Amino acid sequence: MSKQSFREAKPCHASKATIESFAADFASKVGYRSGAALEAVVAQLGGKIIYQTLADLSRSPEASIRVFGNGKFEIYLPDYTNAERDRFSIAHEIGHYILHYPLANQPMTAARFGSTRVEWEANWFAAGFLMPEAAFRKEFARHPKNIAGVARHFRVSTAAATARAKALGLL
Ligand SMILES: [Zn+2]
């Protein structure tokens, strides 16, 4: 596996709005429902989630996803973070797979850290996938002034729900 060479993911340059609505459509296409587990989605796409200890991560800090030549992929997650954080990370990595792998069309990796266009695109995908705009607006209206309740519905962190509400002009 480590002998394979992996091309670094490159941005697709679609707009934030395009990526978010694409992600929402993709979520419904794969039968994802708000707050549901993501493991089934990953498995359905041909992926595997590998939880790593801090020591493992310090040995291989370069990748949070590796897509192999046959389209199968592995997502690497720390085993010491909380479930809501992990869910956003998993959706982010699915974003790399869906948005960036078709462009690479060869074994691909995406770095764990960095605030580059390619990372922003994966974050937009994650937000649109986990908190589709229409569903988010509906839920926000149902829990006025209770962002924690909205976050629980989508099983994301309060920080992620707050960022989504601000991005949609609700806060
Ligand atoms: Zn990334």
* CA of residue 168 to ligand 1 center, whole Å: 22
Give the pLDDT confidence score for residue 1 in this predicted structure.
47
Q: What does the DSSP 8-state code read for residue 64?
A: S
* CA of residue 154 to ligand 1 center, whole Å: 21
Query: What is the DSSP annotation of 119-153?
Result: HHHHHHHHHHHHS-HHHHHHHHHHSTT-HHHHHHH
* CA of residue 43 to ligand 1 center, whole Å: 19
* CA of residue 96 to ligand 1 center, whole Å: 7
* Residue type at position 28: S
Alpha carbons 170 and 16: distance in angstroms, whole number: 17
Alpha carbons 40 and 137: distance in angstroms, whole number: 26
- The position carrying tokens 């994650």 is 126
Non-local CB neighbours of 83 within 8 Å, separated by 6+ positions: 155
Full-model pTM: 0.93
- Summarised one tens digit per residue, pLDDT across range 56-95 is 877 765 669 999 989 899 999 888 888 999 999 999 999 9
Give the pLDDT confidence score for residue 54 in this predicted structure.
81
Spans in the chain with pLDDT lower than 70: 1-3, 60-63
Alpha carbons 113 and 127: distance in angstroms, whole number: 18
* CA of residue 143 to ligand 1 center, whole Å: 31
* CA of residue 115 to ligand 1 center, whole Å: 9
Please, which residues bridge with residue 108 across strands? Answer: 7, 67
The CATH architecture assigned to 7-130 reads: Orthogonal Bundle (1.10)
* CA of residue 28 to ligand 1 center, whole Å: 22
Give the pLDDT confidence score for residue 60 in this predicted structure.
66
* CA of residue 61 to ligand 1 center, whole Å: 12
Helices (H) and strands (E) in the chain, counts: 9, 5
